Chain A
Amino acid sequence: MRGKLKAATAALALVAFAGAAHADGELNIYNWGDYTSPEMIKKFEQTHNVKVTITDYDSNDTALAKVRAGGHGFDIVVPSANYVPIWVKEDLLLEARPDQMENFKNVDPRWVDVPWDPGRHYTVPWQWGYTGTAVNSKVYSGDINTSALFLDPPAELVGKINVAPEMNDVLFATIKYFGGNWCTDDKELLKKVRDKLVEAKTKWLAMDYSVTEKLPAGDYSGVYYWNGAIMRSRLANPDIKIGYPKEGYPLFMDSVAILKDAKNVENAKLFMNFIMDPENAAMLSAFAKYANGIKGSENFMPEEMKTAPELVIPAEFEKAGEFLESCSPEVLSLYSRIWTDVQK
């Protein structure tokens, strides 16, 4: 008995030691939940002998608040386009100069001179997509390319709608629905926006993140949500159809950045370079079902993704998509008041 225990302890110690000796370093990634391909992380760990730890957040503001508070221990963060300028302005990001890295040549020129990081001095593209509409075509068969699906929902969908709990995306669609522009402070228009949302919300079922399970299962029949999650829902249930609201829908791109107070800067730079490799970028997309910004990655993507309606936006709807800039604090406090009114 004693002997066995000793042997077991020795074996455990060996495993622990081997584990410790295995990795040359660490990398702590702070990213959105359910967004990082585990296979790609494993490949990175094996290629560079680095142990990766991933921590989730569920909103840009959560991430910003936590990192600003300090003592977080993260090396990498993945903010959305409209938040990158805030991170830079608040002096939280390292000017890592990814544009001088070896794999930068793979970045699609469309994503190099972006307004939130001209010339890409701080960030590299992670994934991009849009917030679209989707329905279960067995429940509703009318026009789905409109925000009216959730703002003036057809009778079949009333009480079965889930809307992304994301202030900016919801307000953007509603402002566009009334013909306004993002960051508008036109009070007459905003009053219409608020009244419409307060009224529409009574016809929604939820404002939740669990679309990938509940849309295919039939708990929801209509959603206003991110395209990758909609694609994952369609793969689970072929009746799910995606729409592109013609009045206007938000595009997003999340970009990888290194934090100024990162402890593992070299590993973080290795990671930046690593995800600009087409094969690795393809792994990201294959997992989360969003497009990436890397040329040539399509050659490594699964067949189902090359033709997916969720990823290939039809030309006629391309113009309606728009990146959201960050509005001034005054406008933002108006928007956040409207949002509280909607959620009361």
Chain B
Amino acid sequence: MDTASEVAKRAERADVRSRWLLSAPALLVIFFAAVGPLFVMLAYSFMVKGDYGDVKPGEFSLDGWFSVFFQRDIFDDTVGLADAHLSIFWRSVKLSLITTMLALAFGFPTAYFIATRPARTREVWVFLITIPFWTNLLIRTFAMQEVIRNEGILNTLMMWLGLIDQPIQLMYTDAAILFGMVYVYLPLMVLPLYASMEKLDFNLVEAGYDLYATRLRVLWRIIIPLVRPGVIAGSILVFIPSLGAYVIPRVLGGGKNMMLGNLIELQFGAGRNWPLGAAISITLMAIVMLALLVYVRNEARSGAQNV
């Protein structure tokens, strides 16, 4: 009996060891490529900015963090909230939330459509959804520009149809940024939604109809609660990259109104304020972490409900 438990223990220890060994390469990559640079950023955010970019190593300063949220007025030296940064934060969060909602509105019926196809054709539809990923993001963004510019496909088509008599200014507006982000991030919404809908037991839907539930009621009380993990996962996958988007606001927004990604770039470039850039980057990550925390807590609660 003694030996048996010892053997089992030894086997378990060997198992643990081999697991660690197997995951070591991945852990090393994560440590050096993700966690390491993060600490560099954190350190930079507490240093004094260099005269021509970079930082003065070893010189401690809270200026970077102070100026994320506050500013000393250039003109009368009073300290106030950093109005420019806060409005850029707000624009980023607002546009990302709207993008997520639009992606959900378009992605839900798409995923439902795919999930209700016969098993064989489903794979074809999923495959079609992934096709845009074959093309570089920058190229897709410039393609969008050709669609929505004044002489572009959309305006030409609407004028030809007689819907409008002069081009609508879509380029360089927040609408253009939204348009671009929804298009680019839509597959990230459809795929997790589809994954949870595929597991949906459609007998439950039929049972609902048998019990005289309306279509809306079936959707609201049966389908949506069952695919909720997919809805949440999809929303997170869309919200996070939207928040940090750089190329899309730069190209489609015309560089006139910044989002967070552009503000960070400005600080590392012409602004020559790396500590501020680092502090804003970390703030952006904090927002993302917050969103994820909300997600995890929601998950835990719904998990508890199911038990």
Please judge, given known A-B contacts A62-B269, A190-B75, A344-B88, whether A208 and B150 are in contact too, CB under 8 Å. no
Q: Which partner residue on chain B sits nearest A190 by CB separation?
A: B74
The reply on B106 being an interface residue by CB < 8 A is no
Closest Cβ of chain B to A332, distance in Å, is 7
**B53:A64 contact, CB within 8 angstroms:** yes
Whole-angstrom distance between the alpha carbons of A49 and B219 in the complex? Answer: 70
A interface bracket (residues with beta carbon within 8 Å of B): 35 or more
Complex formed: what's the CA distance from A344 to B249 in Å?
13
Bound-complex Cα distance A208 to B142 (A): 13
Contacts of A341 in B (CB 8 A): 83-84
B164-208 Cβ-contact flags toward A at 8 Å (1 or 0): 000001011000000000000000000000000000000000000
Q: Which of B74, B75, B151 has the most CB of A within 10 A?
A: B74
CB–CB B256/A343 < 8 A: yes
Nearest residue (CB) in A for B274 is: A65
Q: Mark A204-226, 1 if CB is under 8 A from B, else 0.
A: 11111000001001110000000
Instruction: Name the residue in B75, B83, B256 with the highest tally of chain A Cβ atoms < 10 Å from its Cβ.
Output: B256
Compute how far the CA of A340 lies from the CA of B71 in the bound complex, rounded to whole angstroms: 12
**Inter-chain contacts of A190 with B (CB < 8 A):** 74-75
Question: Per a CB cutoff under 8 Å, which of A64, A207, A338 touches B256?
Answer: A207
- Contact partner of A65 among B150, B171, B269, CB < 8 A? B269
Docked-complex contact A206 and B269, CB < 8 angstroms: no
Given A167-B270, A217-B151, A344-B84, are A61 and B53 neighbors across the interface (CB < 8 Å)? yes
Docked CA distance A64–B54 (Å): 10
Chain A residue at minimum C-beta to C-beta distance from B255? A207
Known: A86-B52, A219-B150, A343-B257. A65 touches B273 (CB 8 A): no
| Interface residue from A64, A90, A204, A337 paired with B71 (Cβ < 8 Å) | A337
A336 at the interface (CB under 8 A from B): yes
* Cα-based distance from A86 to B53 in the complex (angstroms): 11
What are the residues of chain B within 8 A of A343 when measuring CB–CB? 84, 255-258, 262, 266
Contact A340 B84 (CB under 8 A): yes
Asked whether B51 lies within 8 Å of A329 as measured between CB atoms, the reply is: yes
A86–B270 CA distance with the chains assembled, in angstroms: 14
Q: Is the CB of B272 closer than 8 A to any CB of chain A?
A: yes
**Smallest distance from the beta carbon of B5 to chain A beta carbons, Å?**
56
Interface residues on B, range: 20 to 34
Asked if B271 is at the interface of the complex by the 8 Å CB criterion, the answer is yes
Compute how far the CA of A329 lies from the CA of B75 in the bound complex, rounded to whole angstroms. Answer: 17
Decide if A319 is an interface residue (CB 8 Å cutoff).
no
Query: B-facing mask of A61-96, CB < 8 A → 1, else 0?
Result: 110110010000000000000000010001000000
Interface flags, A303-344, vs B, CB<8A=1, else 0:
000000000000000000000000001001110111111011
Q: Is the CB of A333 within 8 A of B254?
A: no
Distance A341 CA – B263 CA, assembled complex (angstroms): 11
A206 touches B266 (CB 8 A): no
Q: How far is B169's CA from A219's CA once the two chains are assembled, in angstroms?
A: 9
Min distance, Cβ B56 to any Cβ of chain A, angstroms: 12
Name the A residues within 8 Å of B169 (CB-CB). Answer: 159, 205
The answer to whether A65 touches B149 (Cβ under 8 A) is no
Contact with A along B78-103 (1 / 0, CB 8 A): 00000111011000000000000000
Task: Report the bound CA distance from A62 to B75 in whole Å.
Answer: 29
Interface residues as binary, B125-156 with A (CB distance below 8 Å gives 1, 0 otherwise): 00000000000000000000000011100000
CB distance from A187 to the nearest CB of B (A): 5
Residue-by-residue, is B272-287 near A (CB-CB < 8 Å gives 1, otherwise 0)?
1100000000000000
Q: A48: CB under 8 A from chain B?
A: no
- Closest approach, in angstroms, between the C-beta of A112 and any C-beta of chain B? 26
Residue of B52, B74, B262 touching A338 (CB-CB under 8 A)? B74
Assess whether A43 is interfacial by the CB under 8 Å rule: no
* Residue from B74, B84, B254, B262 within 8 A of A334 (CB atoms): B74
- Bitwise, B214-228 to A at CB < 8 A (1) or not (0) is 000000000000000
A191 close to B (CB within 8 Å):
yes
Between A61, A194, A334, A338, the greatest number of chain B beta carbons within 10 A of the residue's beta carbon is seen for: A61
Instruction: Look across to chain A and name the residue whose beta carbon is closest to the beta carbon of B53.
Output: A65
Chain B residue numbers with a CB within 8 Å of A119 are none
Q: Please tell me if the beta carbons of B151 and A205 are within 8 angstroms of each other in the complex.
A: no
Interface residues of B in 224-278 (CB under 8 A from A): 254-258, 262-263, 266, 268-273
Residues of A within 8 A of B87 (CB): 344
On chain A, the residues within 8 Å of B269 by CB distance are 59, 61-62, 65
6 smallest beta-carbon distances between A and B, as pairs: A206-B254, A344-B84, A61-B269, A329-B51, A207-B255, A206-B172
**Additional A-B contacts beyond A217-B151, A343-B257 (5; CB < 8 A):** A206-B255, A219-B151, A336-B271, A337-B71, A340-B263
Q: Which A residues form the contact surface with B (CB < 8 A)?
A: 59, 61-62, 64-65, 68, 86, 90, 159, 162, 165, 167, 187-188, 190-191, 194, 201, 204-208, 214, 217-219, 329, 332-334, 336-341, 343-344
User: B residues engaging A (CB < 8 A)?
Assistant: 51-54, 71, 74-75, 83-85, 87-88, 149-151, 169, 171-172, 254-258, 262-263, 266, 268-273
* 14 CB < 8 A contacts A-B: A59-B269, A61-B270, A65-B269, A68-B52, A86-B52, A159-B169, A190-B74, A208-B172, A219-B171, A333-B273, A334-B74, A336-B270, A336-B271, A339-B270
